[in-house]
Amino acid sequence: MRRILIIVSLPLLCAACSTIGSDYIRPAITDMPSGWKTESGWQSASPADANPKTAWWIIFGDRQLDELEDNCLKDNPNLKEAVARLDQALAQSNAHAASLFPSVALQTNVTRSRISANRPLAAYNTQNSSTVQNDFKPALTVSYEVDWLGRVRRDIESAKANAGQARADRENVRLVLTAQLASVYFQLRQIDEEIGFVTGLIALQQKVLELIQIRHELGVAGENDVVLQRALIESNKAQVELLKNQRKQTENTLATLTGVPAATFTLSAGALPANIPMIPVALPATLLERRPDIASAERAMAAANAQIGIARAAYFPTLSLSPALGGYESNRLSNLISVPSLLWSVGVQSSQTLFDGGRIRAGVDFAQAGYIAARANYRQSVLLAIEEAQDALGTLHGLASAGQKQDEAVRDQNKAYAITLLRYQAGLDSALTLATMQQNQLTALRVQSQLRGGQFVSAVSLLKALGGGWSE
């Protein structure tokens, strides 16, 4: 009994041994910038990736966008696939964690057999005979791998890191999809505004055409003025058709993002929100705690580090509790559960590789190279995150400055058109001058709309670059 207790307690003693391989420590990025290359005026934020992400798109105050985002999160196939991948990773992590516990199984063997009378003799002075008998054998078996070097623990560590990577990948898919939908939505609204501007100008140009025709009938304007105005109207109508076709394609993209067939999806015309929200911008270092793609790369690095320990454990012998068995065996049910029918066995198995032609060494090299690659990918993810945030900041700032100047240009064009129209009615300017002024006004209004649309798209890009929502 003393020996049995020693054998049974051996796995518990070995489990307390140190784990093979280096414990994972996230490498520091020593050259992180301390700020952004942009003018002052940006608000600061204190985000954390561990906190639940907010619905960042609500800051635009567009109910239609909010509804589309909700539909995207509910029905988008790519997001559903990412959720399923996460469920798989969690299930696999749980399966690996079960290796820390012994495997217990119940076996039942019931047979009725006839022994041959002509079998080889066991004793030459005793004649064999044929026998028919029963064998009832219920037994409980226990098997367990002793994690004396921590191989199983490293395996669980790797599985948990993979699950964390799948969780970050799901959040990244969520962020990418919602940002893409918001960008496409604002592009569609900018097209709606352009269509409205051009349509309104066509109506205005139609009235000018009627005025020119009256002046032509009175002999004040020439035929060339009428033809020129008609050509301008037809050219603008062609632009409207092109914009409508572009709107249909953009609308189809929205349909796919929300998980709806494009043939059944329609979205009524609308306009861009009135104001562009102020976006809190954190320091570059906080991107390491916010961006789900960086979190995914960091978790992949942790999993790769654990794989090194698993590979190195192959150098050492394995130790396992051989299938321990305890139960009963009898040829009759009447005395099956009795002390004479009791049976048991317990033992420990060990195995050590003596020669493998360098297979273990190659496995360790492979795992170490995998960690180096994961670490490089992590750094690249950080650099790309900083680049995207810096690009979005610069673009948004540049578009804001250009938008202010374009607003002034539109006001001046409107004044110039009003003056030219009065001068034309008074006979001081020609129809060509008026048509040219109309075209300039159209160009100014469209550029203004395009700049505002670009500002909203850049705001979405900045929010995506910063990792989505934040805590106040």
Give the pLDDT of residue 187. 93
Q: How far apart are CA 430 and CA 261, in angstroms?
A: 52
Q: What angle do CA 465, 78, 63 make, to 5 degrees?
A: 65
Q: What band does 64 get if pLDDT is binned at 50, 70 and 90?
A: very high
Query: Residues 58-79: what's their mean pLDDT?
Result: 90
pLDDT in tens, 330-343: 888 888 888 889 98
pLDDT in tens, 423-448: 888 888 877 677 778 778 878 888 88
Share of the chain above pLDDT 70, in %: 88
Give the pLDDT of residue 92. 85
**In this structure, what DSSP letter does residue 20 have?**
S
Looking at the domain 18-102+147-316+358-465, which fold is it?
A: Outer membrane efflux proteins (OEP) (1.20.1600)
Paired tokens of 354: 């003596």
Query: Residues 341-358: what's their mean pLDDT?
Result: 87
Write down the mean pLDDT value for the chain.
Answer: 83
Alpha-carbon distances of 12 from 7, 17, 369, 377, 386, rounded to whole Å:
10, 9, 34, 39, 48
Give the pLDDT of residue 71. 92
What's at 84, amino acid-wise?
A: A
Instruction: Please choose, from the candidates 280, 282, 278, the residue with its C-alpha nearest in 3D space to the C-alpha of residue 33.
Output: 282
User: 152 and 99 in contact (C-beta within 8 Å)?
Assistant: yes
User: 325 and 139 in contact (C-beta within 8 Å)?
Assistant: yes
Paired tokens of 417: 């058109």
Q: How far apart are CA 406 and CA 183, in angstroms?
A: 22
pLDDT in tens, 284-299: 666 666 788 888 888 8
Sort residue 271 into left (φ over 0), alpha (ψ -120 to 50) or beta.
beta
pLDDT in tens, 357-375: 899 899 999 999 999 999 9
Angle 151-217/63-75 helices, nearest 10 degrees? 140
Ordered by start, the domain boundaries in the chain are 18-102+147-316+358-465
Give the pLDDT of residue 364. 92
Give the pLDDT of residue 253. 93
Give the pLDDT of residue 8. 46
pLDDT in tens, 3-19: 544 544 554 444 445 67
Q: What band does 72 get if pLDDT is binned at 50, 70 and 90?
A: very high
Q: In this predicted structure, which of 46-50, 176-180, 381-385, 411-415 has the lowest mean pLDDT?
A: 46-50
Q: How far apart are CA 472 and CA 67, in angstroms?
A: 24
What's at 168, amino acid-wise?
A: A
Give the pLDDT of residue 32. 62
User: 208 and 434 in contact (C-beta within 8 Å)?
Assistant: yes
pLDDT of residue 78 exceeding 60, the answer is: yes
What's at 442, amino acid-wise?
A: L
Alpha-carbon distances of 100 from 12, 32, 214, 216, 344, rounded to whole Å:
11, 40, 94, 96, 24
Q: How far apart are CA 463 and CA 175, in angstroms?
A: 9
Q: In this predicted structure, which of 69-78, 172-181, 205-214, 327-336 has the lowest mean pLDDT?
A: 205-214
Q: What band does 44 get if pLDDT is binned at 50, 70 and 90?
A: very low
Q: What band does 39 get if pLDDT is binned at 50, 70 and 90?
A: very low
Task: Give me the residues paired with residue 114 across strands.
Answer: 132
Query: Residues 227-240: what's their mean pLDDT?
Result: 89
Distance, first Cα to last Cα, the chain: 65
Q: How far apart are CA 149 and CA 317, in angstroms?
A: 9
